[in-house]
Amino acid sequence: MTNSLYLVKPEIVVTIVLVCIITFNLIFKDKPQALPWLSVIGLMITSYFVVEQFSYNSFAFASTDYKGLLVTDPFGAFFKILIVLSSVIVILFSISNKELDSAADRLGEYYSLIFGMILGMFFMVSAADLILIYLSVELLSLSSYVLAGFTKNTLRNSEASLKYVIYGGVSSGIMLFGISIVYGLTGTTNLYEINSLIQAPQINQITLLFAGILIFTGIGFKISVAPFHFWTPDVYEGAPVTITAYLSVASKAAGFALLIRFIKVTFIKSINAEGYWQVINVIDWKSFFILISIITMTLGNFAALWQNNMKRLLAYSSIAHAGYIMLGLVVMSNEGILAIIIYFTVYAIMNLGAFFIVMLIANKIGSEELDDYKGLGYSTPVLGISLAIFLISLTGLPPTAGFIAKLYLFIALVDAKMIGVAIIALLNTVVSLYYYIRVLKNMYLDKPGKEIPKFSASIPNLVLLIALVAPIIFFGIYFSPVVNLAKSSLTLFGF
Amino acid sequence: MAQVGLNHFLVISSILFCFGIFGIITRKNAVMVLMGIELILNSANINFIAFARYGSFGFQGQLIALFVIVLAAAEAAVALAIVLNIYKTFSNVNVDEIDNLKE
């Protein structure tokens, strides 16, 4: 048992940093400005151990009669790296977020709760046991409920956290009920054991179908796909913008990693010669996911058309992106997973960038309404052009990295002979162009109601901004590093 | 008299689950909604323990129930703190009156 400890080094480091932050905050109460740097250093050490995990491929804490609670493999390591990177970026955003000023005396809680989320997400991406899945989802949720309402003095903040806690509590409760049924059917909660047990003919298929859908409810809530997306716009709009960015990238990435592992480990019977997964015929996951992803992206894109708040618009856009990403899972092959990994790498950068600019503009003009963005393209050229690049990338137009992400997704769909689905996704991209361009139209073509003085971001923020814009342009032209990284992180344990 | 078996427990847990969902959908008070969530969690707990007892799967199911009880308490603590905060800002806890965030 103890010789597995080297497989959970990143989680151990995260826990230690979490304790360090709390202790530091207790001892040096008057130095909250050191907390983000302490967190960033902690995350750097974590990333070192996560990179180490690319070479591992095994169960952790397995004994003779029980397969392990969690697995360490390159697939999990990729998502951990993604989570660490987005955490670093979000922590750097938090330094200059004005919304947090009203809670300046509680910043220690803020950073320690972020580490609570990171710990939950780390366990989520490597969980191989239904109970660990439930525990890690709850660990992630409990921290994010509090963070969504962190600056609790504003109305929309408290409302966001209430809606989040109610929707989250219900969906994780429903997931637990589904887990209990699977436990009753198979007598185990380990995904690998369940996989071999549900292939037996005496399993009641309807009960298993019911349980599978109940478990999907909990995961679907985390990745905010329809019909479990109702919380997304409200929570994204109400939460502090740094937390919104974090929820839309890291928490969604962890949810997708969990979903892919859950489906691939539990319900795949074999992999045929062309590399497509043969699903155990209990649940037709393929049609189910096609339906869900088409509804999700269509709903997200059309609802975004008449949003006037930037955060709300980006919330609906992130729902639509969850729909696109799900198409990678619909393919049910390694090519689809490759597309998902490429998509997430790009999506993380562009979405964080877009939220960063929304935050910088809100810091200056104190508003996220689209009407207040009129003429901003001229009064703040740097932020305007960067936002334009991020939005074009979110649409998926060349020469940005967003195009590459969508390209690989569509190639995977066409290779799997799902042309119809690909066309629907393409039409959805056209719809999404309208609302992204509407932001740019407001910024560049509309006359502002009142004169806005010229402004720009501070030097550190500009450096951070360039660090986010550069990869979007660079990977749009020269994308083989991303593809190679994705190819090296395709290995799931057991396949 | 009939022997109490697995089915009795499953019926009880399904009824609890349905009551929980019903409470969440119909109740307006946030605290009552949270109680509905607790009912769902407890129905799952009954399932776990009944399956562990009658399926002779060992003690795993009962261990899981202990985990869930702890998590339910943690979740209730966080949720009640948030509800308290809502009461301070809105001076009521009716979920359908808290609707500032709508298009």
Task: Please state which of the ranges A180-189, A361-370, A443-452, B21-30 shows the lowest mean pLDDT.
Answer: A443-452
Q: Which residue among B48, B67, B89 places its CB closest to the CB of A135? A: B67
Adjacent-strand bridge partners of A276: A333
CB spacing of B82 vs A173 below 8 angstroms: no
Alpha-carbon distance of A177 to B13, in angstroms, equals 9
Using the Cβ of B19 and the Cβ atoms of chain A, whether some distance falls under 8 Å is answered with no
Maximum pairwise Cα distance, chain A? 73
Using the Cβ of B3 and the Cβ atoms of chain A, whether some distance falls under 8 Å is answered with no
Which pLDDT belongs to residue A87? Answer: 96
pLDDT confidence tier of residue A289, bands split at 50, 70 and 90:
very high
Amino acid at B11: V
**What is the distance in angstroms between the Cα of A161 and the nearest Cα belonging to chain B?**
7
Q: Is residue B27 part of a domain?
A: yes
Give mean pLDDT, residues A8-25: 94
CB spacing of A158 vs B78 below 8 angstroms: no
pLDDT confidence tier of residue A203, bands split at 50, 70 and 90:
confident
- Who has greater pLDDT, A428 or A103? A428
* pLDDT over threshold 60, residue A190: yes
Alpha-carbon distance of B38 to B44, in angstroms, equals 10
Within 8 A of B100 by CB-CB distance, chain A residues are: 155-156, 159
Q: Is the preceding peptide bond at A227 cis, omega within 30 degrees of 0?
A: yes
What CATH code is carried by the domain that includes residue B23? 1.10.287.3510
The answer to whether the CB of A441 falls within 8 A of the CB of A69 is no
How many Cβ pairs within 8 Å bridge chains A and B?
A: 121
Which pLDDT belongs to residue B42? Answer: 95
Chain B nearest-CA residue for A131: B64
Q: Is residue B62 part of a domain?
A: yes
Substitution target from B39, B70, B82 for chain A, most A beta carbons within 10 A = B82
**What is the distance in angstroms between the Cα of A61 and the nearest Cα belonging to chain B?**
16
Phi, psi of A438 (to 5 degrees): -60, -40
**Which of B74, B33, B35 is closest to A167 using CA atoms?**
B33
Q: In 10 A of CB B1, how many CB atoms?
A: 3
Q: pLDDT tens, B16-75?
A: 999 999 999 999 899 999 999 999 999 999 999 999 999 888 888 899 999 999 999 999
| Token pair of A302 as six digits | 């059309």
| Token pair of A216 as six digits | 């999907």
Give mean pLDDT, residues A38-45: 96
Q: pLDDT tens, A70-126?
A: 899 999 999 999 999 999 999 999 998 888 888 888 899 999 999 999 999 999 999
* pLDDT over threshold 60, residue A265: yes
Phi, psi of A404 (to 5 degrees): -60, -45
**What is the distance in angstroms between the Cα of A234 and the nearest Cα belonging to chain B?**
6
Owning domain of residue B11: 6-90
Q: Is residue B35 part of a domain?
A: yes
* pLDDT over threshold 80, residue A12: yes
Which pLDDT belongs to residue B103? Answer: 55
Using the Cβ of B64 and the Cβ atoms of chain A, whether some distance falls under 8 Å is answered with yes
CB spacing of B82 vs A160 below 8 angstroms: no
- Who has greater pLDDT, B50 or A492? B50
Within 8 A of A134 by CB-CB distance, chain B residues are: 68, 71
Phi, psi of A66 (to 5 degrees): -145, 130
Question: In this structure, are strands A277-279 and A268-271 parallel, antiparallel, or unpaired?
Answer: antiparallel
CA A411 to chain CA centroid, Å, is 23
Q: Is residue B99 part of a domain?
A: no
Q: Is residue B22 part of a domain?
A: yes
* pLDDT over threshold 90, residue A456: no
Within 8 A of A158 by CB-CB distance, chain B residues are: 82, 85-86, 88-90
CB spacing of A181 vs B101 below 8 angstroms: no
Mean of the per-residue pLDDT values for chain A?
A: 91
Which pLDDT belongs to residue A1? Answer: 55
For chain A, the domains span: 286-495
Q: Is residue B77 part of a domain?
A: yes
Which pLDDT belongs to residue A113? Answer: 95
* pLDDT over threshold 80, residue B2: no
Give mean pLDDT, residues A37-45: 95
Task: Please state which of the ranges A130-134, A174-178, A375-379, A382-386 shows the lowest mean pLDDT.
Answer: A375-379
Within 8 A of B27 by CB-CB distance, chain A residues are: none
**Which of A170, A306, A269 is closest to B23 using CA atoms?**
A170
Which pLDDT belongs to residue A245? Answer: 95
**Which of B36, B9, B73, B27 is closest to A173 using CA atoms?**
B36
**What is the distance in angstroms between the Cα of B30 and the nearest Cα belonging to chain A?**
8
How many domains in chain B? 1
The answer to whether the CB of A60 falls within 8 A of the CB of A8 is yes
Give DSSP secondary structure letters for B38-90. Answer: HHHHHHHHHHHHHHHHHTT--SHHHHHHHHHHHHHHHHHHHHHHHHHHHHHHH
